[in-house]
Each structure stands twice: as structure tokens, then as C-alpha cells.
């Protein structure tokens, strides 16, 4: 068995949060940090942000080595020019407390917001705002300096009491338990050190983004990112399952249960759920496919029996409520926001939706064909042969409609069509999704692959761009051009299903190499990437934030990117 290799790249903005794998989390009072740029510490994203960091003394540091950098455990080795060295650790003890240690031999300055230099003996520093109280408590034992930084929504006194109790923690044992988690990864003995470390980083991202049961969500659940978002997003969670199942199939099943737990009696499942409610729009329907793939992976047929009725109700809801007017195809619900015309599609700001008109959407219809085929497979597993045959027939009918209405034989590509109007002749990554659903015959699939492998269109340094590189509307802005790993995962799956093994391997290699490159440089796994592999993800646009001066940058340590990377890197797709 190959040695466990831990992620160890320190970079700004990496997620630091207590994991639902280890205990309760608190959606109502999130105590979540991200790594600082220059200082060795974290910014905690409270309403009034707080920092916890370490400054070496005025003696020059000759060597600073990050030994472990995960979402809840960080360890540095710091060496001074005169030869003395000390360790520096930060560990999440519970959802409100960070504990750590360094050395009093050559003491660094451990600081929290507003704190003074830490000295020998107990030192307490508090910082308060309405409903937010933090306390840093330090104490020296011989040559070791321990510290605890705690949050309370109630009072300074409670935060300080929590921190004092946390100083009793066995940090070495706590760290061993956290790092033991990474031994659950497939060994990957033939992989490069860079690939194994990036896989460890992907596990770290998924670990940190797992939440505990709370409110309307009675199971452990996954969020795409603990900051700036922290809710359960249906589409994201489906892809998250493909990552969690690599190292914890039980949690993957629980995440699936969490997604289904909020279903309405009529079958509707919201695109976003949180402990106090849910959104009113739907999401790309991938639940049946996700469940079937999990059943295949775990060989646990009992899972199929209890989820099948709920999955049927969900697909029937989509078929009933997203039927395009006067058409046998389906259409997304559109928005009025010009920066996000169709968040229900998941491709929020794609130029597909710029005119704001309802579309016979190539991706929605492909997803539903895939869902009906997966329902047929699940029905077979639970001995409902008649229903399986019915689902296959319904999938075939919808696939025929997609080929009739949305295939352009002159271009050899699938396009959206305006309801009651013309095709939208814009090449986007959505045009490959019928292949994922098994809709095209082999000659059509071959023509799609010609587009995929065209360097002027989709075959970029880091494929697959969400809009073809040679389209006039291509921009480095979210779904207007950048590469998304969830779509890459679906395309790789499609290529394998059509027996196009070499093309699948080539695409997988480019995708993995792209993620590894930016992780090695910046320390994070990102929401989306520059197809050319040149612009750092942090400098890409996101719903025109660079021109408007509003909004957020592409999110760091994004769950579905980590999950898709992990599934591809470990060969478990």
C-alpha cells in the first residue's frame, strides 16, 4: 500500500471549517475561516470579520514549510536563520473552536483581532459585536505554547470558557485522527506525487463542506462551499455524491437521503434547501442517475427500493411542469435578471439565454431522458419489469423528439430551439449532453466528438469550455466560456459509454492536469477555470463582477469540482 500523501499547499482563501464528519455543525451561526495571504492564519467570515494569525518574531525566518494544509488541520514547520525552529498547528476542535500550538523557545506572536503579544501564563483576548463574541486564550507549558480561539453567539464569557476548556485537548491525538481520514482514499500507487496530493486536497474540500443535520434537513448534507454559500444545492449535491462515495459510501447515501428529504407531496424538489426553508425553482434533474450510479458502485440494491418512488414523483413533476407550450419537449423556467437569465438550468448566465425567451432546452431534455433510463434500470433492480419497459419507451420517445427538433445535421451538433421559433445556433457544452443520455446514434456521436476535439472550438488546454472558443459570445465569465468540471464528468462518462476510450482518457488527462496546476500554484480547487489555462481562476469574471464592481470571485474549494476531480483521478466514475 502506497504511503498516504497529505495536501500541503498554502495559499490565500482556502476553506477552513469544522467538518460534519466529526460532529455537529451550525448553519445558523457559521464559524468558517479562509486562509490569509501573507500571515500564517485565517480570516473568519462573521458579520464583523475576525482574524487569527501568527507572526514570527523579528528574527529572520530562513525556512517556512507547510507540512499539512487541509480544511480543518494545518501544520507548519518554521525555522529561524540562527537554527532554532518551532511547529505551528491549527486544528478545528468543534464547530466553534480552533486550537493550536507553537513553541515558547522562540515565540511567535499569536494574535486575534485586537490582541496583544502572547506571553507566558494565561492570556485572554476578547472581541465582540452584536451576536458575535470571540476569545483567544493562551497558556504556556514548558517549551510549548497552546492557544484556543473560540466563538459564541451569546457572550464573551461563554467564548472564553469554551476556549479555556479547549486548552485541555490532546492536539497530537486530534491531528492523528483527522489525518487518518486520508488513508481511506484508494492508494493510487502509480499516480504522481502531485496527483496524490491534489486528490488529498479534494477529500479535504469535501470533508470541510459536509454539514450536520439541522432544521429541515435531518441527515448530513453537503454544500458547494461553506463560504460564501452554505446551503444544500441539489445539482451540486448530486455531483458531490461521486466524490463522497470514493472514500465514504455511507455518507454518499446519506447525502442522497438529505436531497430527497425536502420533497413536496407533488414530487417537487427545490434547487436550494436550507434548515429554515427552500427555494421555489427546480434544478437540473440528475437524482435518478446519481442514485443508480451509487447503487452500481456499492452493489446495495436496498437503496434502489426506498428511493425509487420519490425519484418517480420528481421526474413526473418535471415532465408535468416544464413542458414547453405546444411542444413535446421541455423548457427551463426563465428569470428576469439579465446577469442570470436561467439559474434553474445551473448555467445561470449562459449566452444561450440572452434573449430571455423560453427554449426547448437541449440540456433539460437530455437530463430527463437520462433520468427515465435510470428509472428503468432501478425498476429492473427492484423487480418492476413492466415499469422498467414503460420508462424505456418514454425515454425513447423523448430522445426521438430531441433528435428531430434539436439536432442540426448540417452542423452535426445539438442546439436549443426557441419555443415556437428557430434554433439558437450557438455551440455550448450543453450540446454534448444528449450524448451523455445516449440519445445520438453512433454516426451522430462521432460528429459530436469532432466538435469536441476541434482546437478552435472545444479542445482547449483545459477543456471543455462552456461556450466554444470560436463563438463571438465567448467570454471568461462563468457559463459564458469557462470550464466546469461537472460538465467534463458527464462528457467523460458519455465517451466511455460510446466506447470512445482514447478520447475519454485524453479529456480526463487534460482536466486532471489543469486542476493540479492551479492547486499547486494557488492551493485551492475552484468553481470554474480558464479554458486556455492561462488566467488564474481568481481573476476570471463572474456575472460581470469585474465590470460592475459587484459580486464575488469564482469560489475557492468548491465541492463539485473536488468531487469530479476525485472521481476522475481515482478511476471510480
Q: Inform me whether the pLDDT recorded for 118 exceeds 50.
A: no
Length of the chain: 573
Residue 432 and residue 413 in contact, taking contact as beta carbons nearer than 8 Å: no
pLDDT-derived band at 63, boundaries 50, 70, 90: confident
Q: Domain-by-domain residue ranges, the chain?
A: 15-182, 322-439, 453-573
Whether 120 has a pLDDT exceeding 50, the answer reads no
The pLDDT of residue 434: 98
pLDDT above 90: residue 243? yes
Higher pLDDT, 26 or 82: 26
Dump pLDDT digits (tens) for 305-320: 999 999 999 999 999 9
H or E stretch covering 149: strand 144-152
CB neighbour list of residue 350: distance below 8 Å, 6 or more residues apart: 341, 342, 428, 430, 466, 467, 479, 480
Span of 100-114, 155-169, 185-199, 321-335 with lowest mean pLDDT: 100-114
How distant, in Å, are the alpha carbons of 172, 291, 387 from that of 391?
55, 16, 6
Residues 273-294 have pLDDT tens digits of: 999 999 999 999 999 999 999 9
The vertex-206 CA angle with 208 and 281, nearest 5°, equals 100
Cβ atoms of residues 65 and 4 within 8 Å: no
pLDDT, mean of residues 171-197 = 91
Give the per-residue pLDDT at 550: 87
Which pLDDT band holds residue 1 (cuts at 50, 70, 90)? Answer: very low
Q: What is residue 82's predicted lDDT score, i.e. its pLDDT?
A: 67
Grid coordinates representing 572? 471510480
Q: 436-468: per-residue pLDDT in tens?
A: 999 999 999 999 999 999 999 999 999 999 999
pLDDT value for 108: 59
Q: How many helices (H) and strands (E) does the chain have?
A: 15, 21
Query: Which is more confidently placed, 158 or 129?
Result: 158
Report pLDDT for 60. Answer: 58
Whole-angstrom distance, CA of residue 134 vs CA of residue 160: 8
* 117 pLDDT higher than 80: no
pLDDT band at 112 (very low <50, low <70, confident <90, very high): confident
- Mean pLDDT, to the nearest integer, of 244-260? 96
106: pLDDT strictly greater than 60: no
Residue written as grid cell 421559433:
421
The Cα 203–Cα 180 span in angstroms is: 12
Least confident of 128-137, 171-180, 286-295, 448-457: 128-137
Q: Give the pLDDT confidence score for residue 387 in this predicted structure.
A: 98
pLDDT for 187 equals 82
DSSP-based three-state secondary structure for 327: coil
Amino acid at each position: 500500500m502506497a504511503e498516504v500523501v497529505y495536501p500541503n499547499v498554502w495559499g490565500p482563501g482556502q476553506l477552513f471549517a469544522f467538518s460534519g464528519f466529526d460532529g455537529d455543525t451550525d448553519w445558523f451561526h457559521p464559524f468558517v475561516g479562509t486562509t490569509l495571504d501573507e500571515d500564517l492564519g485565517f480570516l473568519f467570515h462573521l458579520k464583523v470579520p475576525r482574524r487569527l494569525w501568527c507572526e514570527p518574531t523579528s528574527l529572520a525566518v530562513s525556512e517556512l514549510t507547510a507540512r499539512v494544509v487541509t480544511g480543518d488541520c494545518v501544520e507548519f514547520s518554521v525555522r529561524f536563520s540562527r537554527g532554532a525552529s518551532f511547529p505551528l498547528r491549527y486544528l478545528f476542535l468543534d464547530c466553534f473552536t480552533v486550537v493550536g500550538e507553537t513553541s515558547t523557545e522562540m515565540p511567535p506572536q499569536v494574535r486575534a483581532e485586537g490582541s496583544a503579544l502572547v506571553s507566558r501564563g494565561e492570556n485572554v483576548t476578547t472581541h465582540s459585536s452584536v451576536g458575535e463574541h470571540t476569545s483567544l486564550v493562551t497558556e504556556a507549558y514548558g517549551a510549548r505554547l497552546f492557544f484556543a480561539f473560540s466563538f459564541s453567539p451569546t457572550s464573551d464569557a461563554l467564548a472564553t470558557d469554551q476556549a479555556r476548556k479547549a486548552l485541555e485537548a490532546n492536539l497530537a491525538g486530534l491531528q492523528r485522527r483527522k489525518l487518518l481520514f486520508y488513508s481511506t482514499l484508494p492508494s493510487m500507487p502509480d499516480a504522481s506525487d502531485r496527483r496524490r496530493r491534489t486528490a488529498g486536497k479534494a477529500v479535504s474540500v469535501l470533508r470541510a463542506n459536509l454539514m450536520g443535520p439541522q432544521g429541515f434537513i435531518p441527515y448530513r448534507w453537503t454544500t458547494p462551499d461553506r463560504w460564501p454559500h452554505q446551503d444544500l444545492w441539489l445539482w451540486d449535491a448530486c455531483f458531490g455524491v461521486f466524490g463522497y462515495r470514493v472514500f465514504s459510501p455511507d455518507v454518499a447515501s446519506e447525502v442522497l437521503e438529505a436531497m430527497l428529504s425536502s420533497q413536496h407531496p407533488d414530487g417537487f424538489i427545490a434547487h436550494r434547501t436550507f434548515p429554515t426553508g427552500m427555494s421555489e425553482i427546480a434544478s437540473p434533474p440528475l437524482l435518478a442517475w446519481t442514485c443508480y450510479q451509487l447503487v452500481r458502485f456499492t452493489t446495495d440494491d436496498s437503496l434502489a427500493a426506498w428511493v425509487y418512488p420519490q425519484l418517480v414523483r420528481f421526474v413526473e413533476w418535471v415532465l408535468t411542469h416544464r413542458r414547453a407550450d405546444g411542444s413535446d419537449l421541455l423548457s427551463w423556467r426563465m428569470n428576469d435578471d439579465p446577469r442570470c437569465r436561467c439559474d434553474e438550468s445551473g448555467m445561470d448566465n449562459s449566452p444561450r439565454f440572452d434573449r430571455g425567451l423560453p427554449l426547448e432546452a437541449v440540456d433539460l431534455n437530455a437530463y430527463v431522458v437520462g433520468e427515465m433510463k435510470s428509472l428503468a434500470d432501478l425498476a429492473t433492480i427492484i423487480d418492476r419489469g413492466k415499469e422498467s419497459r414503460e420508462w424505456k419507451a418514454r425515454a425513447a420517445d423523448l430522445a426521438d423528439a430531441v433528435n428531430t427538433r434539436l439536432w442540426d445535421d448540417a452542423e452535426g451538433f445539438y442546439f436549443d430551439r426557441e419555443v415556437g421559433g428557430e434554433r439558437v445556433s450557438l455551440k455550448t457544452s450543453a450540446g454534448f449532453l444528449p450524448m451523455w443520455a445516449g440519445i445520438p446514434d453512433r454516426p451522430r456521436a462521432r460528429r459530436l466528438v469532432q466538435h469536441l476535439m476541434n482546437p478552435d472550438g472545444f479542445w482547449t488546454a483545459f477543456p471543455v469550455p462552456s461556450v466554444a472558443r470560436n463563438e463571438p459570445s465567448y467570454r471568461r465569465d462563468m457559463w459564458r466560456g469557462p470550464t466546469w468540471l461537472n460538465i467534463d464528468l458527464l462528457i467523460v462518462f458519455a465517451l466511455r459509454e460510446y466506447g470512445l476510450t482514447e478520447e475519454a482518457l485524453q479529456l480526463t488527462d487534460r482536466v486532471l492536469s489543469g486542476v493540479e496546476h492551479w492547486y499547486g500554484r494557488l492551493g485551492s480547487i475552484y468553481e470554474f477555470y480558464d479554458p486556455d489555462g492561462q488566467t488564474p481562476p481568481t481573476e476570471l469574471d463572474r456575472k460581470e463582477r469585474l465590470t460592475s464592481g459587484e459580486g464575488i470571485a469564482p469560489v475557492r474549494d468548491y465541492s463539485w469540482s473536488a468531487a469530479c476531480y476525485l472521481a476522475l483521478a481515482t478511476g471510480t466514475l
